[in-house]
Amino acid sequence: MVYPARKHALKTLEKLVELLPGSDKAKPQIILLAGSVTPYRNDTDREMVFRQESNFNYLSDCNVPSSYLLLTVTPASLESSSLSLFIPKAEPADIMWSVPPPSLEAARQSYDAAYVGHTEELSKAISEALVSYPNAILHTLPSASPLFPELAAKYTELAKGSPTATVTDVYLLPALHKARLIKTAEEIELIRKANQISSRAHEVVMRVLGNGVRGLDRPKEAGVDRPLLPGEWLIEKEAEAEAIFVASCRREGAVHQAYLPIVAASTRASTLHYCCNDKEFAWGPVKPHDHENSDKLTAAGEHDLHPQVLLIDAGCEWDCYASDITRTMPVGNGGKFTPEARAIYELVLEMQKLSFQALKPGLHWDAIQLLCHRTLVQGFQRLGIFKNPNSPGSGSWNSEEAILASGVSSAFFPHGVGHSLGMDVHDVPSASKPAANTTIGKGLELGHEDFYTYLRLRLPLEEGMIVTVEPGCYFSPHLLAPVRDSRHIDHAVLKRYEAVGGIRIEDVVLITKDGHENLTTVRSDVEWIEGVCSGKL
């Protein structure tokens, strides 16, 4: 597959011209970007992991550290934009210590650029572009922002010193975000691949948990005095689950995780971005809200795992494209959910299933958020966590609509149902959420404003968007504190469910012409999850 950097440049330039004020639209446009540099650990010479800046990758497909790109175009002919890439020269020390940058010949073969030169030529190339394109506007990413690689002032000053050119950092990032919101066919395939690898990694973790239930993960010889081999690895703590997830992605060639894995057992699953992943699974005769394990082992000298959930929200990156998958699995209890955990799991799965059924171009994402809250309220009323109008001492003030209007469901489902996903896991923020929040439209119930506080996407869906669908239900002491006296809640029933901690189920979907396609391949139905985690499938 050839990465469509040229197509991406055209999309970006179209969006850029749309955003520019009247008379500037007809001017030549120049885009100047610095790529990421190799980071170093503190004040040492030890490299840390390199990852190209997303926008630089989008316009060039070039992953050579410390590169620059210069894109020039006249609005009369956006298709004829010209990309020049500037990569560092290989120094003798680079060759000795690390993999050097490619030769110019090799780079010319790899990248679809009109010109490839060394970074020393960049100043001259900018000056020449300013002469060839009088009245040009030179666009950069936000200057002096720690979020983007630094572009040295000496480069932009070349344009500032020109009598006719202007320099701006206002329009380029919004244009890139708008272009990146709708994926090209090639981008979809990269995200599909990242999802396939991550889906297998989730399944590997579940299968190792299942092996543990069957006792297959113990070394055959008694009293072995050697490190455990991968086939013998146990999962009895969060770090072990994380290690197996990351190892599975890495052996399939994924270099990066798209974000720090969230591997949270027991009630830690209610911390949305928990990523310390450093606790043992609750074991021994622990109390429901207690993470302090006792020192009692079973007669066989093993940990008797307390029934609990393990929430893993993790996804690798493939060629700079992300996946973002959450599975919540049973631990202890022979690899089966407790009745309470199963009830909440099935409710979250229903929130996701109804969302899937509704997805199609034109539907406002707010409507999916509301649908999930409505489904949660109905589910809680069935379970008795929320009262209904027929409960003793109740009334119409406990109707589904009244509970929705109260906003109390936000204490259990506090986050957004999903977000755009692309090169970044929470992708293209400026194009996802208009400055003035839109609503789903006249005549449609919005529920409560708290439902939308953390919703990262607030747009009608369009064909070619890729979004996550990630409903969840949590029992977090911090979130529950403000609703401890809510008249909508049956507090005795709620108490029974609090030990569940949290359940989230997250898949990545492509919005298609008629609906959606799920790019996440690992299953999430209870029968399969319990079958694998109990070692029976």
Chain residues that interact with ligand GLY, rule: CB under 6 A: 259, 313, 324, 425, 470, 506
Least separation in angstroms between CB 280 and Mn ion: 23
Q: With beta carbons less than 8 A apart as the criterion, state whether 533 and 329 touch.
A: yes
Least separation in angstroms between CB 21 and ligand GLY: 35
Least separation in angstroms between CB 324 and Mn ion: 4
Least separation in angstroms between CB 27 and ligand GLY: 39
Q: Which does 236 bind (CB under 5 to 8 A by kind): Mn ion, ligand GLY, none?
A: none
At 456 the three-state DSSP class reads: coil
Closer CB to Mn ion, residue 35 or residue 502? 502
Helices (H) and strands (E) in the chain, counts: 16, 16
DSSP-H helix ranges across 20-139:
54-60, 92-97, 104-110, 122-132
Q: How far apart are CA 160 and CA 257, in angstroms?
A: 40
Q: How far apart are CA 280 and CA 238, in angstroms?
A: 6
Closer CB to ligand GLY, residue 208 or residue 425? 425
At 521 the three-state DSSP class reads: coil
Closer CB to Mn ion, residue 469 or residue 500? 469
The residue number whose beta carbon is nearest to ligand GLY equals 313
Binding site for Mn ion (CB under 5 A): 313, 324, 468, 470, 506
Q: With beta carbons less than 8 A apart as the criterion, state whether 287 and 244 touch.
A: no
Q: With beta carbons less than 8 A apart as the criterion, state whether 242 and 274 touch.
A: no
Q: How far apart are CA 264 and CA 143, in angstroms?
A: 38
Q: How far apart are CA 119 and CA 139, in angstroms?
A: 19
Least separation in angstroms between CB 238 and ligand GLY: 16
Closer CB to ligand GLY, residue 306 or residue 373? 373
Q: Which does 319 bind (CB under 5 to 8 A by kind): ligand GLY, Mn ion, none?
A: none
Residue 161 burial (CB < 10 Å; 0-12/13-18/19+)? exposed
Q: Which does 259 bind (CB under 5 to 8 A by kind): Mn ion, ligand GLY, none?
A: ligand GLY
Least separation in angstroms between CB 507 and Mn ion: 10
Please provide residue 376's backbone torsions phi and psi, each rounded to the nearest 5 degrees.
-65, -45
Closer CB to ligand GLY, residue 195 or residue 211? 195
Closer CB to ligand GLY, residue 406 or residue 410? 410
Beta bridge partners of 118: 87
Q: Which does 421 bind (CB under 5 to 8 A by kind): ligand GLY, Mn ion, none?
A: none
Q: With beta carbons less than 8 A apart as the criterion, state whether 458 and 434 touch.
A: yes
Which tokens is 115 given?
């010109």
Closer CB to ligand GLY, residue 175 or residue 201? 201
Instruction: Count how many Cα atoms sit within 13 Å of the Cα of residue 463 in the half-sphere of its side chain.
Output: 5
Least separation in angstroms between CB 325 and Mn ion: 7
